[in-house]
Amino acid sequence: MAAVCLFAIGHVLWFDHNADDAYVSCRYVDSWVRGYGSAFNRGEPVVGYSNFLWVVVFYPFGLLRFSVHLAASILEIGLAWATLARVYAFATKTPTAGCPASPR
């Protein structure tokens, strides 16, 4: 697990790539921080993002002048690992007394 985690972090840092939705969110945050409002391109205030929560989450990073693209990559990896850990914990949980047996 540690090797896979290190590989994923290295991959993010080496390739510096975000998925399409993350890139769009980063562009909107960049415009918002620069004072152009909610716009992908300056002067075109059109709502084109599909994930307002990501825009809100990335906004503080933009205000602090932290790389929003890097923050997106780190958050993506962290949330993916948190999801995997939660799924593993759920899958290995044994039923307790009074609970129905897990399906087989």
pLDDT at 47: 75
Q: Does residue 18 form part of some domain? A: no
Mean pLDDT to the nearest integer, 60-77: 84
In this structure, what are the phi and psi dihedrals at residue 93, rounded to the nearest 5 degrees? -70, 130
Is residue 47 within 8 Å of residue 38, measured between CB atoms?
A: yes
Q: Does residue 31 form part of some domain? A: no
Mean pLDDT to the nearest integer, 84-94: 81
pTM of the full structure? 0.61
Q: Does residue 54 form part of some domain? A: yes
Domain containing 64 equals: 36-92
- Judged by DSSP in three states, 47 sits in coil
Total structural domains in the chain?
A: 1
Q: Does residue 3 form part of some domain? A: no
Q: Does residue 13 form part of some domain? A: no
Judged on CB neighbours under 10 Å (0-12, 13-18, 19+), 65 is exposed
Q: Does residue 23 form part of some domain? A: no
pLDDT reading at 99 higher than 70:
no
The band of 1, judged by pLDDT with boundaries at 50, 70 and 90, is low
Average pLDDT along the chain: 77
pLDDT reading at 102 higher than 60:
no
